[in-house]
Amino acid sequence: VTQVSDSVLNNISPYFQFPEWVINPKPKNNYNFNKKEKSFAQKIDLNKADAEQLQKVYGVGAVLSKRIIDYRERLNGFLTDEQLYDVYGLENAVVKRIIEEFTVKEKPLIEKININKASASDIAILPFINFQLAKEIVDYRYLHEGINELEELKNIEGFPIHKFERFALYLTVK
């Protein structure tokens, strides 16, 4: 390609300097498509994993492992593996790799918020609900004289329907 003979290249190559990441690149994940999926028992509990364990997953460094742990603490523990998708900056491919190694084994005890009795401030404490959405929920509740089932939340303008399953983990109508 360079049309430099091997003998000349061998003589001048000691003078080349390359960054560390070129000389010693991180090994890429060569997926073995015949690889068996880990069983529930083989996976590490996502609610007990430390930063060091999380960082063994390709794509998770110190910053992302801290974000995962901080978000877990904010939730008082993950209820489902899919809550990883809500961690800021965590790409879907990385979440899938994490879920291959970790899973929620021990779910935390969560006291569900009664959507028909809670104030907007109470609802807004959930990490995925901002105050504006909480206010919209309360306004909808007053307008319709209560909420009979959580599915009604999908009728609220601006409600993130794709996150409904995660909302349902923390809310109740009774």
Summarised one tens digit per residue, pLDDT across range 114-125 is 999 999 999 998
Determine the Cα–Cα distance for residues 99 and 149; give it in Å rounded to an integer: 31
Summarised one tens digit per residue, pLDDT across range 17-63 is 777 776 677 666 655 556 678 999 999 999 999 999 999 999 999 99
Residue 140: Cβ within 10 Å count: 18
Determine the Cα–Cα distance for residues 144 and 83; give it in Å rounded to an integer: 30
Summarised one tens digit per residue, pLDDT across range 86-139 is 999 999 999 999 999 999 999 999 899 999 999 999 999 887 789 999 999 999
Place of tokens 């809310």: 171
Average pLDDT, the chain: 89
pLDDT of residue 82: 93
pLDDT of residue 27: 65
Q: Say what percent of the chain tops pLDDT 90.
A: 65
